[in-house]
A and B are shown apart, each in its own frame.
Chain A
Amino acid sequence: QKEVEQNSGPLSVPEGAIASLNCTYSDRGSQSFFWYRQYSGKSPELIMSIYSNGDKEDGRFTAQLNKASQYVSLLIRDSQPSDSATYLCAVYTGRRALTFGSGTRLQVQP
């Protein structure tokens, strides 16, 4: 079992819809969780961090964390074609380095 798992996609949503991206992790002791956006040929860009159970909202983005279920999600409201990218879920392990999932490719159809 991978330490951080994501559906590779592609996840295709129409413009203006809500995109829901999911991630599960295996280390029950993990405390810090991040979502990065990566455009093709570019480096990962941090878009959200979450540390406590529940929801955290930032503009059109909402991160959700459920430590009991070892589950993190990212919701993108009013999806735009510019949101089309690969979204990487990342979790801090005891090694104080990020463990990344393989990413979910999101396609927003105009």
Chain B
Amino acid sequence: EAGVVQSPRYKIIEKKQPVAFWCNPISGHNTLYWYRQNLGQGPELLIRYENEEAVDDSQLPKDRFSAERLKGVDSTLKIQPAELGDSAVYLCASRGQTEDEQFFGPGTRLTVL
């Protein structure tokens, strides 16, 4: 069974530029999460989707961040414009309907210069 897929793996941009991250969850997993992990910290939730519905986006900085999961499968997280403080690893995770375990993708390491 394929795991969570994310792309790109690395991204370097200058501040004020836009950037987008893509995630394809484990097949059949209805719940999709985006987390952000800063160096030396644990991942922190940005947004949670149940199918195509964003059910928890309270931690998403909505002035510059947006996300979508149009068909309830893959998802895109966008930052526009990026700031220096956005440098972090952006992790996507998914969870099946009848289980609590979450599985993470490899992450996208974003560097904002």
Q: Measuring CB to CB, which residues of chain A are less than 8 angstroms from any residue of chain B?
A: 4, 8, 32, 34, 36, 42-46, 49, 51, 88, 90, 92, 95-103
What's the least CB distance linking A39 to chain B, in Å? 12
Residues of chain B at interface, number, CB under 8 A: 21
What 1/0 mask marks residues of chain B from 35 to 46 whose CB sits below 8 Å from any chain A CB? 000001111110
Which B residue sits closest to A89, measured CB to CB? B42
Contacts of A95 in B (CB 8 A): 45, 48, 56
Distance in angstroms between the alpha carbons of A100 and B89 in the assembled complex: 15
20 intermolecular pairs with C-beta atoms under 8 Å apart: A34-B101, A42-B106, A43-B104, A43-B105, A46-B102, A46-B103, A46-B104, A49-B100, A51-B100, A88-B42, A95-B48, A96-B31, A97-B33, A98-B43, A98-B45, A98-B102, A99-B45, A100-B42, A100-B43, A102-B42
What 1/0 mask marks residues of chain B from 68 to 91 whose CB sits below 8 Å from any chain A CB? 000000000000000000000101
